[in-house]
Chain A
Amino acid sequence: DTGVSQDPRHKITKRGQNVTFRCDPISEHNRLYWYRQTLGQGPEFLTYFQNEAQLEKSRLLSDRFSAERPKGSFSTLEIQRTEQGDSAMYLCASDTELTGSYEQYFGPGTRLTVT
């Protein structure tokens, strides 16, 4: 078990460009979450997948954001037409309902800087 991985770890982009992040959850975990964390704040929930189904989306997830988990394994988060306000750490987490513990395991995050 290698834990939750995220790629890339850092991304610098110009305003208006599109970016895509990838998250690989722990292999036996069927639930996957995306969060956004800005400096000095706690993470904020963005969206959640159970297997390949996207079950919950926060109002923070504007139309420029889209997430997929096509085969119920890895997930991608795409931001279109990036804005400076999108600069943040994007965290991915996974868990499984089988244990009933609701303990989420977090990845190292992708730090996005929009210039």
Chain B
Amino acid sequence: AQTVTQSQPEMSVQEAETVTLSCTYDTSESNYYLFWYKQPPSRQMILVIRQEAYKQQNATENRFSVNFQKAAKSFSLKISDSQLGDTAMYFCALEVVTGGGADGLTFGKGTHLIIQP
């Protein structure tokens, strides 16, 4: 079974600051993908960034980047130059890929990120 742990229930930073959200995971599988999803208030979940476990290079999408430490099973999200629109719940998620294909995502409990003006 897979587990995903997000130890920061809530974080608050000022607009334009940089913030890092933590995530650790556990799986015995070698082929998996890691994701950060964003869920704004009363809006649907959207993908922020993803990382293939077999890639050593950390993924980057504009202001969003990850620090993927495979040995430590750590997958943190860094948001640079934070904006008011970044206010949302952020979920770290893991998907294992086996011979039968991918199973469902395993999510953490989420971090509520608040960007203060």
Which secondary structure characterizes the binding site on chain B?
Answer: strand
Q: Are A44 and B107 in contact (CB under 8 A)?
A: yes
Report the separation of the CA atoms of residues A40 and B45 in the bound assembly, to the nearest whole angstrom: 14
Interface residues as binary, B67-101 with A (CB distance below 8 Å gives 1, 0 otherwise): 00000000000000000000000010101010011
| A101 contacts partner chain B, Cβ-Cβ < 8 Å | yes
Q: Are A45 and B104 in contact (CB under 8 A)?
A: yes
Q: Are A50 and B104 in contact (CB under 8 A)?
A: no
| B102 contacts partner chain A, Cβ-Cβ < 8 Å | yes
Give the size category of A's interface with B: 20 to 34
Q: Which of B22-58 contact A (CB under 8 A)?
A: 33, 35, 37, 43-47, 50
Q: Please, which residues of chain A bring their CB within 8 A of the CB of B45?
A: 43, 91, 93, 106
Residues of B within 8 A of A (CB): 4, 33, 35, 37, 43-47, 50, 91, 93, 95, 97, 100-110
